[in-house]
Amino acid sequence: MSLNLKKLNELDQIAFTSALGWVFEHSPWVAEKAWLKRPFHSVSELHDKMKNVVNESSMKQKLGLLRAHPDLAARVQMADASVKEQSDAGLDQLSKKEHEEFLSLNETYLTKFAFPFIMAVKGQNKESIQASMKERVKNAPDDELREALEQIYKIAFFRLEDFITT
């Protein structure tokens, strides 16, 4: 399913939030607030305004957004978009040993940062994702908070690009 940018601009706030509330994982408040910044002339402009909503939000809201993301390679219920993204990166095809390694890395990361490891996995594979996990767990908390948000912004842009037609 997709939505035309012109029609998106014509939606009321409830319909707009319903249409785009999934773009930022389990955080429809981003779409709800972005609606106030209409009209959008491009997917990039919409994305920038959604990013600004997050950037202007409280630390509590940012942490809620980060914590709404599933662990990579976790075998848990997650948003349809996350299922597809992780599947496309091969994270649904891990051996038992690989799965255990991902779980261990996720746990180490979560313990250090208090939010799950987040990465835009489009165009990635299990090896590149695992290497990134091993590197990023070395980051300072403030640096990793910024990096995790940047990854969320990439994920959101990919989702918007796939969903909205101009």
**Does the domain spanning 3-165 belong to CATH 1.10.645.10?**
no
Domain parsing of the chain, residue ranges: 3-165
- Which positions are annotated as active-site residues? 69
Tens-place pLDDT, residues 15-37: 999 999 999 988 999 999 999 99
Burial of 129 (0-12, 13-18, 19+ CB in 10 A): buried
Q: What pLDDT, on a 0 to 100 scale, did the predictor assign at position 83?
A: 52
Question: What whole-number distance in Å separates Cα of residue 50 and Cα of residue 137?
Answer: 27
Q: How confident is the model at residue 77 (pLDDT cuts 50, 70, 90)?
A: very low
The mean-pLDDT minimum among 77-91, 103-117, 133-147 falls in 77-91
Question: What whole-number distance in Å separates Cα of residue 145 and Cα of residue 130?
Answer: 19
Q: How confident is the model at residue 90 (pLDDT cuts 50, 70, 90)?
A: low
User: Which whole number is the average pLDDT over 114-124?
Assistant: 90
DSSP letter, residue 71: P
Contacts of 158 (CB under 8 A, 6+ apart): 85, 120, 122
DSSP letter, residue 26: T
